[in-house]
Amino acid sequence: MERVVRAPCHVVASSEGFQLAEQRHEAILLFGAPGSGKGTQGKILGTVPGFFHVSTGDVFRALDNNSELGAIFNEYSSRGELVPDDVTIRIWRSHMQREEKADRYRRGRDIVLLDGIPRNVNQAALLDPEVDTLKVIHLTCSDESEMISRLRDRALKQGRSDDAREEVVRRRLEIYKEETQPVLDHYSKDLIAAVDALGAPVEVLARILEHLAPIQAPRFESA
């Protein structure tokens, strides 16, 4: 039987005094440079009961190209730049609400695998009141040329125009170093697990599971 062992809430100040806010989303951050395999691993892990994968890149790509938000996304992603934080957080929040309402995500029971967010320190701070971060899986890759070649493969297979152009890929990697890497300092060191992103998908998966099993196991007990 499944058992919920944590119910993290936070207290907010309002004109009526202090009140208990909605329970925060419990999350594991999949963190790493473009091409490090966050999406591949996130998709696999999202099929495991009790986990719910959310990729902001996928949420953005699902937007209607003719909508205002779709146009904003195209404008930034085609240059390899980050979409502004207010738009990103708003889109992420409405995605979470939609998934919860549709019962595909059960807050307090499922652990969210956040893939591609937060992408800078401001986003990390904006998420804190809504997200309880249980672990940060940092996919590390010392070989930049390997990541670039993965991005090229993906561009061909998935038709991703941002990864098809060399200068856009370079810009994405630059932004990762300048804006995204500092996000690691936002979290306590004991939350961060460095995982070697090189190797076959199953090898990387096995390394990640070593960190996730101790988080999920206490939530389950035999009937």
Q: Given the rule CB under 6 A, which residues bind ligand AMP?
A: 34, 56-57, 60, 76-77, 80-83, 88, 116-117, 119, 123, 162, 172
4-to-1, 47, 95 alpha-carbon distances in Å: 10, 19, 23
Q: Which is nearer to ligand AMP, 166 or 221 (CB)?
A: 166
Q: Which is nearer to ligand AMP, 185 or 210 (CB)?
A: 185
Q: Which is nearer to ligand AMP, 93 or 219 (CB)?
A: 93
Q: Which is nearer to ligand AMP, 147 or 208 (CB)?
A: 147
Sign of CA dihedral 44, 201, 92, 220: positive
Q: Residue 208: in which H helix or E strand, if any?
A: helix 201-216
| Residue matched to tokens 């209607």 | 64
| Residue of minimal Cβ distance to ligand AMP | 57
Q: Which is nearer to ligand AMP, 82 or 197 (CB)?
A: 82
Q: Which is nearer to ligand AMP, 37 or 116 (CB)?
A: 116
Q: Which two tokens stand for residue 160?
A: 């991703």
CB of 116 to ligand AMP, least distance (A): 3
CB of 19 to ligand AMP, least distance (A): 29
CB of 60 to ligand AMP, least distance (A): 5
Provide the terminal-to-terminal Cα distance of the chain, rounded to the nearest Å.
5
DSSP one-letter code for 24:
P
Query: Strands (DSSP E) along 76-144, which ranges?
Result: 111-115, 131-140
31, 113 in Cβ contact below 8 A? no
215, 28 in Cβ contact below 8 A? yes
CB of 154 to ligand AMP, least distance (A): 9
CB of 62 to ligand AMP, least distance (A): 11
120-to-82, 88, 137, 178 alpha-carbon distances in Å: 9, 11, 16, 9
CB of 181 to ligand AMP, least distance (A): 14
Q: Residue 60: in which H helix or E strand, if any?
A: helix 56-61
